[in-house]
Every structure is written in structure tokens, then in C-alpha cells.
Homo-oligomer: A and B are copies of this chain.
Amino acid sequence: MKALLERIRAGELPVEEALEALVDLPFEDLGFAKVDHQRQLRTGAPEVVFGQGKEPEQILALVDAIRSRGQLALVTRVANEAAERTCAAFADAVHNPLARTLLVGERPRELTGPVAVVSAGTTDRPVAEEAAVTLGALGHEALRIDDVGVSGLHRIVAQRRNLEDARAVIVAAGMEGALASVVGGLVSRPVIAVPTSVGYGASFGGLAALLGMLTSCAAGVTVVNIDNGFGAACVASRMLHAPR
């Protein structure tokens, strides 16, 4: 586009023709996509690969491409085989089997936050772990609080100060997902609820928790997709990066 403008300036291109040419220019050339890429480079935010359903070679190639641009690579939902092959190829690769994540490259050192990452039961931990790893990759401190489901209410109430000190709270809970409502009523921080597919029967793969979190009687609760710990961390990160 710059070349085009310079040709106008030089009088080589009539305004009418330039106008027509500009309308047909691919969108990306208008610059804003480039701006996005530059911001990502500047902030050191990782490029993300959704690993599910991808072959080990595909993941290896994608990570290689990201690393060759000097960026941090985050692979989510990575299978063990793909993770092992990538770890063999990259010395600085870190595989978290619980979170099913793979981080390749240097992670941010100065962390902002913290963002509390709360899970209701043992089986909700992989989702919470995915959120925590993502937060770290995005440059935020994750404060983990596990096994504080509402069947033993004192456990979450005992964490009230910690939750209030965080800048946002991610709550991962399956079954009926009541923990999100309880946290939303307990503290004044924004609550990002992640329904998990933990449960059986009438939990219908996370539907019960999803509907429960959406209809929470507590204000300040917002919801992402079932098992989407990664997405919850992205939302929290956007909150922390928003201008003052």
C-alpha cells in the first residue's frame, strides 16, 4: 500500500484509479492485521496450537514454525505421543500431562496478577491446570486453590481473603457447578466459571454445570465453554491487560 501511495504522490497514478485499487486491496495489506502481529511480538504472548486431533508431525511442524519466529509456543490438548516427540526435539519444551499442555520457549518472567484458579474436586484439576499453565504463558501469576467444592462449605469460605486479593477468579467445577455461585456471592472479583464434563448421568457431559453457572443467582459470574480452561485464562488475561 505504501508503494501505491508513493505512486499517487509522485503523480504516477490518478486519484480515481488509486481509489479503485484500494477498494480491491486485500484486507491484510491495510495494516491492522500486521499491527496485531507486532503487538503479539512486543508483549511476548504465545502463539497457541489446539492439539486435539492433530498428528505428532503436524504439531512438531507448527511448533517449529513458531519457534523460528522467536515466539513462545503453547500447545493445548496435546496427546502424550506428540508431547514426547516434541520434547525430544526441543530442549526447552515443558510437557504438563495433567493439563495436557506443552510449552516451548522462554516463559514470561515478570508476572502480573494474581488470578485465582479454583477447582471443586480432584477430577476438575486438569481443567484448572490448563487455565494455570495458560495464565503463566500469558504472563500472569496463578494462585491455585483446589478441592474446595461446596459439599464442605468451610473449605471455600476459608479462602475468602485469598480470593478477594486476586484480580480475577477462575472457577472450574463439574457436577452441578454450584461453586461458581458460592464464589460469586463470597467475593467482589469477576468470576470466570468453567463448567467441566466431570460427572455422570444427568450431568450430560457438563450441561448441568453449564446451565447452572449461566443461571447463577450471584452477580458477577460469567461462563466459558465446557472444559475450556484455556479460554478462561484468555479472558482473565484480557481483563488484566485492559487499559486504565
A residues with CB within 8 A of B: 1-2, 5-6, 8-9, 11, 15, 18-19, 22-24, 26-28, 30-33, 35-36, 39, 48, 50, 52-54, 120-123, 149-155, 157-158, 160-161, 165, 167-168, 175-178, 181-182, 184-186, 188-192, 195, 197, 199-228, 230-232, 234-235, 237-239, 241-244
Given A150-B217, A189-B242, A238-B190, is A23 in contact with B15 using a C-beta cutoff of 8 Å? no
Contacts of A200 in B (CB 8 A): 52, 225-228
Give me 7 A-to-B residue pairs in the complex whose CB atoms sit less than 8 angstroms apart, sorted by A's number: A190-B239, A203-B215, A203-B225, A211-B212, A214-B224, A221-B235, A222-B231
A153 touches B186 (CB 8 A): yes
Contacts of A205 in B (CB 8 A): 201
Measured between C-beta atoms, what is the minimum distance from A144 to chain B in Å? 17
Partner of A151, one of B26, B122, B167, B217: B217
B175 touches A178 (CB 8 A): no
